[in-house]
């Protein structure tokens, strides 16, 4: 199969490329920076619709995984308009390029769990639960998610929507688990002291990125066009639980304290996915949070840049 991956050089994209190569697919990586793997690389910006259309026309993929995005919720507060342009206009550019030059291709559009409203009873979120994002990033993903599902039948395209929850693992930077893993490794090297943490009672649905990209591939094959699928583990882990696991996995005693300045004014207390729709396609995660944390620690132990700035 010939797979075109936008955002191939990012955290999830790099693992998706590994997965596709391992099963023998040919991969075209489309990104602003080169991928780590030796695959066909098209250096481009999805906001430049002409070069995107040209890339899709030249390569005629069987499947297009659309991951490129302004992916950081924090940055979306600093630049809501830029986030909206990248995530909404960029997605429409991708869909239009496919409509014109690869109408037989399957598109897997990567949305986010950030589209959902916080339910009053904290039940595991289902795909038909109410939308109600709490960040500009979530609003942009909600709009793109709806555009993808609207355009699919109207343009006779096969588009499956993926809604990842909290993906963790080696190569991730800029989220709480990777920051903590880097900090632990810095402590092991004697380069850092006590770790300041925010609200550790929040509960999140963490899932290993490698289990997640396997789900993308499954959605490309068996997902129903126009439908959205949650991708999570289906279980919640508190940040307190993550700290406990890191304490056990650390080679030195882990020192931490709660810093009220790091407690966010608005933080959804519990975000867990209902993954029954995905499981019905035959998907099952292979790793638990502890195993992923162990591998993430090992990744940073082997990597020079362990200290969190």
Ligand X SMILES: NC(=O)c1ccc[n+]([C@@H]2O[C@H](COP(=O)([O-])OP(=O)(O)OC[C@H]3O[C@@H](n4cnc5c(N)ncnc54)[C@H](OP(=O)(O)O)[C@@H]3O)[C@@H](O)[C@H]2O)c1
Binding site for ligand X (CB under 6 A): 7, 9-13, 31-33, 45-47, 67-69, 71, 86, 90, 110, 112, 164, 166-167
Query: 45: which 2 tokens?
Result: 């910006």
Question: Minimum distance between the CB of residue 206 and ligand X, rounded to whole angstroms?
Answer: 9
Q: Which is nearer to ligand X, 10 or 183 (CB)?
A: 10
Q: How far is CA 151 from CA 144, 156, 219, 227, in A?
A: 10, 8, 18, 12
Min. distance of Cβ 152 from ligand X in angstroms? 18
Provide the 8-state DSSP code for 87: I
Among residues 46 and 98, whose Cβ is nearest to ligand X? 46
Of 17 and 246, CB closest to ligand X: 17
User: Alpha-carbon distance 60 to 101, whole Å?
Assistant: 7
Residue 283 C-beta: closest distance to ligand X, Å: 17
Separation of alpha carbons 42 and 31, rounded Å: 7
170: closest CA among 69, 297, 286? 297
Q: How far is the CB of 42 from ligand X (least distance, A)?
A: 10
Which CB sits closer to ligand X, 11 or 101? Answer: 11
| Nearer residue to ligand X within complex by CB, 159 or 254 | 159
| Terminal CA-CA length for the chain | 41
- Closest approach, Cβ 122 to ligand X, in A, equals 19
- Residue closer to ligand X by CB (options 99, 271) is 271
d(CA 216, CA 15): 11
What are the structure tokens assigned to 67, written together? Answer: 């991951």
Which of these, 67, 300, 57, lies nearest to 183 by C-alpha position? 300
At closest approach, how far in Å is the CB of 15 from ligand X? 8
Minimal CB distance to ligand X: which residue?
10
CA–CA–CA angle 57, 59, 65 (5° rounding): 95
């Amino acid at each position: 199969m010939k797979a075109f991956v936008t955002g191939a050089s990012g955290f999830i994209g790099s693992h998706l490329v590994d997965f596709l190569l391992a099963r023998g697919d040919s991969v075209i990586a489309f990104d602003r920076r080169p991928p780590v793997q030796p695959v066909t690389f098209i250096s481009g910006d999805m906001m430049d619709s002409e070069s995107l259309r040209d890339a899709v026309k030249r390569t005629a993929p069987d499947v297009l995984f659309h991951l490129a995005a302004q992916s950081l919720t924090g940055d979306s507060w600093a630049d809501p308009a830029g986030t909206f342009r990248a995530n909404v206009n960029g997605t429409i550019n991708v869909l239009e390029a496919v409509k014109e030059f690869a109408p037989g291709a399957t598109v897997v559009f990567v949305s986010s769990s950030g589209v959902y409203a916080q339910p009053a009873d904290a039940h595991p979120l289902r795909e038909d639960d109410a939308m109600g994002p709490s960040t500009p990033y979530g609003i942009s993903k909600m709009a793109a998610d709806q555009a993808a599902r609207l355009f699919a039948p109207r343009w006779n395209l096969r588009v499956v929507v993926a809604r990842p929850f909290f993906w963790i693992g080696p190569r991730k930077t800029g989220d709480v688990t990777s920051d903590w893993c880097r900090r632990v490794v810095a402590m092991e090297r004697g380069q850092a002291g006590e770790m300041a943490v925010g609200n550790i009672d929040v509960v999140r649905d963490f899932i290993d990125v490698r289990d997640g990209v396997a789900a993308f591939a499954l959605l490309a094959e068996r997902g129903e066009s126009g439908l959205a699928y949650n991708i999570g583990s289906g279980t919640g882990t508190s940040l307190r639980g993550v700290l406990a696991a890191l304490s056990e996995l650390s080679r030195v005693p882990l020192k931490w304290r709660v810093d009220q300045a790091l407690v966010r004014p608005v933080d959804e207390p519990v975000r867990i996915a209902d993954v029954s729709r995905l499981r019905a396609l035959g998907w099952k995660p292979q790793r638990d949070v502890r195993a992923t944390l162990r591998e993430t620690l090992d990744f940073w132990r082997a990597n020079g840049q362990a200290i969190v700035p």
